[in-house]
Amino acid sequence: YKMRVLLLEDDLNLCDTIEQSLAKEGYSVDSCHDGETAMLYALNTDLGYDLAVIDRMLPIIDGLTIIKSMRRKGITIPVIIITGMSALDDRVDGLDGGADDYLVKPFHIRELLARVRALTRRPHEIKESSCLIYADLSFDRTNQVLRK
């Protein structure tokens, strides 16, 4: 299984560098360069991303707006904001706005890769199931039915 990463970065050189580095580490990467396109990718749950790396300052729609929209839609994948905005309030806004990590530019690509690895190591959200299964038994909790 190849982990899928959504990369939103308007600096084409930086985007290229990050994309190549992630690909070298075995990730499958989709990248876009403006907020409008990024919003379409970020909110499409069919694309099955495991993580997103989002630039805060994107043309048209900014990265924080995209992250807040993802969270409102129930998309819980880890998000790393990458940005030149280094003030404490900017970092707090980014994290409170739904980001899991915040990396200030310029950063070393190895640090970004380590943060990606750290966030993708965490188990995915545990889904509550109405059916419990053990060996050849299944119990449907909703209908109170035990099957063998």
pLDDT, tens digit, 9 for 90 and up, residues 24-68: 999 999 999 999 999 999 999 999 999 999 999 998 899 999 999
- Residue type at 120 in one-letter notation: T
In whole angstroms, what is the distance from residue 56 CA to residue 81 CA? 6
Tokens 């990248």 correspond to 31
- At 142, the pLDDT band (50, 70, 90 cuts) reads confident
Angle, helices 63-72 vs 35-42, to 10°: value is: 20
CB count within 10 Å of CB 132 equals 11
Query: What pLDDT, on the 0 to 100 scale, is given for residue 140?
Result: 80
